[in-house]
Amino acid sequence: MSEFDNHDSNGLPEIYSKSLRAGRRTYFFDVRETKAGDYYLTITESKKSTTDSGDVSYKKHKIYLYKEDFVSFTEMLNDSTRYILNEKGDEVISEKHQKDFMFQETINNEEEKESKGFSDIKFEDI
For 28-73, the three-class secondary structure string (H helix, E strand, C coil) is EEEEEECCCCCEEEEEEEEEEEECCCCCEEEEEEEEEEEHHHHHHH
Confidence of residue 68 (pLDDT cuts 50, 70, 90): very high
Give the residue-averaged pLDDT of 62-83.
Answer: 97
Name all domains of the chain by residue range, CATH numbers in brackets.
Answer: 16-115 (3.10.450.700)
Residue 41 burial (CB count, 10 A): 19
| Residues β-bridged to residue 45 | 27, 61
pLDDT of residue 50: 85
Per the confidence metrics, is the pTM higher than 0.75? Answer: no
Whether the Cβ atoms of residue 85 and residue 91 lie closer than 8 Å to each other: no
Classified as helix, coil or strand, 118 is coil
